[in-house]
């Protein structure tokens, strides 16, 4: 658990359960009602990524430099693999930040802890890995979700209350995860924002990337229909 964030204690398990259920359900309804805005933001994000003239720094500020710099050609399989990974990380980080900011400006997203604080968790490598796993379930038509206990293991957080209040609720409000609080526990699947981002921005850009040359060709990016 981050040292600057105090643990969350459960005074009443049933009361806490209802709180989580209410907040995650409210977030899901808001994003579903504004899905056209989410889709529009994902396409605007695609255009911004194609332009490749700005990137987001760790503090959330924009810098007037490309989010992906061209590198020299290589045939080294290790370098090729590393470039592919780093491109994916840069693409995910910058794309999610940009799309979240667009939706924040349209009052689509409302996050209890503040977007600036929660976005750092949304784009870290563990969350990115989980995003790919959850998106994979959707792409394979399995519709699989994971349990809160799975998150406890993935993030090495023993305090489930902290995980619910500092992770599950904010990620649901950001649209990264969709959380259903059932009597059997919390079921977490891909969120609306995350899915639209992957389909309409992430995948088209990633498909145009050549790890050998270290570049992506904006002209070869196929915009989603």
pLDDT tens digits along 161-189: 777 778 888 899 999 998 887 777 778 89
Mean pLDDT in residue range 49-64: 95
What is the Cα–Cα distance from 162 to 60, expressed in whole angstroms?
24
Mean pLDDT in residue range 130-155: 84
Nearest to 207 by CA among 50, 67, 44: 50
Is 179 strand, coil or helix? strand
- DSSP 8-state assignment for residue 65: S
What is the Cα–Cα distance from 198 to 98, expressed in whole angstroms?
13
User: Based on C-alpha coordinates, what's the Rg of the chain?
Assistant: 18
> What does DSSP say about strands 215-216 and 209-210: parallel, antiparallel, or unpaired?
antiparallel
* Paired strand residues for 182: 185
Residues 63 and 54: beta-carbon distance below 8 Å: yes
What is the Cα–Cα distance from 183 to 197, expressed in whole angstroms?
31
Domain boundaries along the sequence of the chain: 14-51+70-217
Lowest mean pLDDT among 54-63, 72-81, 84-93, 161-170: 161-170
Q: Which of 78-92, 102-116, 175-189 has the highest mean pLDDT?
A: 78-92
What is the Cα–Cα distance from 134 to 127, expressed in whole angstroms?
10
Instruction: Please report where in the chains the tokens 């995910």 appear, as a residue.
Output: 92
What pLDDT, on a 0 to 100 scale, did the predictor assign at position 128?
A: 93
Mean pLDDT in residue range 140-146: 78
Contacts of 166 (CB under 8 A, 6+ apart): 5, 8, 113
> What DSSP element (H or E) covers 56?
strand 55-56
Nearest to 202 by CA among 88, 61, 115: 88
What pLDDT, on a 0 to 100 scale, did the predictor assign at position 10?
A: 40
- This prediction has a pTM of 0.88
């Amino acid at each position: 658990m981050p040292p600057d964030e105090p643990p969350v204690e459960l005074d009443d398990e049933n009361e806490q359960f209802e709180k989580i259920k209410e907040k995650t359900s409210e977030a899901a309804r808001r994003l579903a009602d504004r899905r056209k805005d989410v889709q529009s933001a994902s396409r605007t994000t695609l255009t911004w990524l194609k332009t490749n003239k700005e990137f987001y720094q760790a503090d959330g500020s924009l810098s007037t430099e490309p989010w992906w710099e061209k590198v020299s050609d290589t045939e080294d399989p290790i370098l090729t693999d590393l470039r592919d990974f780093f491109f994916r990380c840069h693409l995910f980080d910058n794309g999610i930040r940009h799309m979240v900011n667009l939706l924040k400006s349209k009052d689509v997203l409302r996050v209890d802890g503040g977007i600036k604080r929660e976005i750092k968790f949304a784009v870290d490598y563990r969350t990115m890995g989980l995003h790919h796993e959850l998106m994979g379930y959707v792409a394979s038509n399995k519709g699989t979700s994971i349990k809160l206990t799975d998150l406890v293991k993935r993030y090495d957080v023993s305090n489930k209350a902290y995980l619910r209040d500092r992770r599950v609720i904010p990620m649901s409000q950001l649209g990264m995860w969709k959380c259903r609080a059932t009597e059997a526990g919390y079921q977490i699947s891909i969120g609306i924002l995350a899915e639209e981002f992957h389909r309409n921005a992430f995948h088209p850009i990633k498909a145009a990337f050549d790890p050998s040359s270290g570049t992506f060709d904006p002209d070869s990016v196929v915009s989603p229909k």
